[in-house]
A and B are shown apart, each in its own frame.
Chain A
Amino acid sequence: SAVISQKPSRDICQRGTSLTIQCQVDSQVTMMFWYRQQPGQSLTLIATANQGSEATYESGFVIDKFPISRPNLTFSTLTVSNLSPEDSSIYLCSVNPLGLGLNTEAFFGQGTRLTVV
């Protein structure tokens, strides 16, 4: 299993500013995943963060808007830049300690609820 600590748990930000979300895992993992959960919508994968290489972004998400750092095997940050009200959402960090493609369990942080005013 994996225990994920994600912070902040919530924040209210002014439009045009940025918010950086931190995700700390209690064990070393190869890949960390960042999701967005908009009101009434599903969890949408933003990007996959691998240690030592650039993150892989999903269609519709770009590095300039969502820069990600992955300095080691237990930590990652997601920054949401140049905030607009449309960025108001819950952002989730997730890991699959045993790897994808093996019917293994994904673990999630408690989420960061971002409100942009």
Chain B
Amino acid sequence: AQRVTQPEKLLSVFKGAPVELKCNYSYSGSPELFWYVQYSRQRLQLLLRHISRESIKGFTADLNKGETSFHLKKPFAQEEDSAMYYCALGGSEKLVFGKGTKLTVNP
């Protein structure tokens, strides 16, 4: 079964501070991992996917198969990063989401 765990429901940091949103997964197959973001009053949208290995809006995420983790990181948080972040695990049949972490970046 596919399972995604985001241990932090809420995360609050100050502007300019590093931020890390944790995600752990459970899946017997080859994992496809994503981070989706929902800004206030906007629809859910893709932030990044592990296969792209790219940095989006300063965020990066590395797939660690040994630790079954896909943590999202940004070295210097900005106020506009405040949003709800969902880690998601994809497969051939469905996309499974974690419970989400609400990130607040304080000025």
Contacts and interface: CB of A to CB of B under 8 A. Distances in A.
A53 interface: no
Nearest to B46: A105
B53 to A, nearest CB: 11
Interface residues of A, number: 22
A42 B96 CA distance: 9
Given A108-B43, A108-B44, A111-B43, A101 B90 contact: yes
B80 interface: no
B99 A42 contact: yes
Nearest to A102: B32
Interface string A19-59: 00000000000000100000011111100100000000010
A109 B43 contact: yes
Contacts of B9: 40
A45, A106, A107, A111 interface centre (most CB from chain B within 10 Å): A106
Contacts, number: 54
A92 interface: yes
B91 A101 contact: yes
A5 to B, nearest CB: 11
A100 B99 contact: no
Interface in A63-112: 92, 94, 96, 100-101, 103, 105-111
B97 A43 contact: yes
B92 interface: yes
Given A33-B94, A41-B99, A103 B46 contact: no
Given A101-B32, A103-B32, A103-B51, A45 B94 contact: yes
16 contacts: A33-B95, A40-B9, A42-B4, A42-B97, A42-B98, A42-B99, A58-B94, A96-B95, A100-B90, A100-B91, A101-B32, A101-B90, A101-B91, A106-B34, A106-B36, A106-B88
* Nearest 10 interchain pairs by C-beta: A101-B92, A42-B99, A108-B44, A43-B97, A103-B51, A105-B46, A110-B43, A42-B97, A103-B32, A108-B43
